[in-house]
Amino acid sequence: MEITRYRIIFSGSGGQGLVSAAIILAEAAVLHENLEAVQSQSYGAAARGGATRADVIIADGPINMPKITQPSILICMTQEAYTKFSPLIRPGGLLISDKKFVKTTRRVDARQIELPLYQTVVSEIGNAVVLNICVLGALIGMRGIVKKSSVEQVLADKFPPAFMAGNQMALDIGFEMGFEYAQ
């Protein structure tokens, strides 16, 4: 019997690199922690204009169903994404959103955590490109889905060395912000 640990949806807009964040998370789990993971995302005309969505499921054993109907963790990086996806969240789940982009409502039955991710990244790194890594940092800071070192390894393997510093900073910033909410 499979033991699913996490069903995570990253949502936001096309340019935010959330698909990459989802893949990096899944790779950290699969390549460095001997876990299973499945990642999928939205395609097509929907993906072009509106909200993107990237799903990651992480588990100890084989994952049969790659699609998430009820995320245990939902990350929303635009208002549109929040509106569209927040109804899906599993009651009692975790919803992380960005303070600048999302105005949350009370109607969501989940623990909602608003973080000033964008603002922090821009002010501390000066480059919004690494926002997605910061999101990822916050997520694993909050919930130890994978080890920070695993993510670091993926980043090191994936990107040219020149990018490492920025990524590392973003990851650290996010991690710290998230860690405050760790349970």
Partner 1 sequence: MDVKYYLRERFFPHMWCAGCGHGIVLNSLVRAVDLLGLKKRDIVMVSGIGCSSRISGYVDFHSLHTLHGRALAFATGVKLSKPSLNVIVPMGDGDALAIGGNHFIHAARRNINITALVMNNRTYGMTGGQFSPLSGVGTKATTAPYSNIDREFDTVELATGAGATFVARTTVYHVKQLQSLIKKAISHDGFSVLEVLSQCPTYFGRKNRKGSAVDMLNSFKDGTVPVGSKKKQENPELIERGIFVEKQLPEYCDAYAELVERATAK
Partner 2 sequence: MSKNITFVQGNEACALGAMYAGLDFYAGYPITPSTEIAETLALTMPAAGKKFIQMEDEISSMCAIIGASLTGNKVMTATSGPGFSLMQEALGYAVMAEIPCVVANVQRGGPSTGNPTHVSQGDVNQARWGTHGDHSIVALSASNHQDVFRMTVEAFNIAETYRTPVILLFDEVIGHMREKLIIPQEEEIPRVARLRTSLKEGVNYHPYLPREDGRLPMSDFGDVHRFNVTGLYHDMWGFPTDKPDVVQELLRHQVDKIENNVHKMTFYKSYFLEDASVVLISYGSSARSALSVVKQRRNRGESIGLLELNTIWPFPAELVRECTQNAELVAVVEMNVGQLTQSVKLAVGSSKRVHLINRVDGQMINDKDIKKILRILQGRGI
Q: How far is the CB of 84 from partner 1 (least distance, A)?
A: 16
Element (H, E) at 132: helix 131-142
- Give me the 18-57 binding string for partner 1, x by CB under 8 A, dash otherwise: ---------------------------x--xx--------
Q: Which span sits near partner 2 by CB under 8 A: 61-69, 119-127, 134-142, 164-172?
A: 61-69
Name which position in 5, 14, 111, 166 contacts partner 1 (CB under 8 A). 14
Q: How many Å apart are CA 89 and CA 92, to the nearest integer?
A: 8
Please select the residue that binds partner 2; options are 17, 18, 21, 39, rule is CB under 8 A: 39
**Residue 1 is a binding residue for partner 2 (CB under 8 A):** yes
Distance of CA 116 to CAs 87, 141, 148, 178, Å? 22, 15, 20, 11
Q: Which residues ranging from 5 to 24 are in contact with partner 2 (CB under 8 A)?
A: 23
Give 3-state DSSP helix, strand, coil % of the chain, rounded to 5. Answer: 50, 20, 30
Cα–Cα distance between 16 and 133 in angstroms, integer?
10
44 contributes a contact to partner 2 by CB under 8 A: yes
Buried b (16+ CB within 10 A) or exposed e, 125-157: beebebbbbbbbbbbbbbbebbebebbbebbee
Interface with partner 1, residue 106, by CB under 8 A: no
- Residues making contact with partner 2 (CB under 8 A): 1-2, 23, 26-27, 30-32, 36-47, 63-67, 69
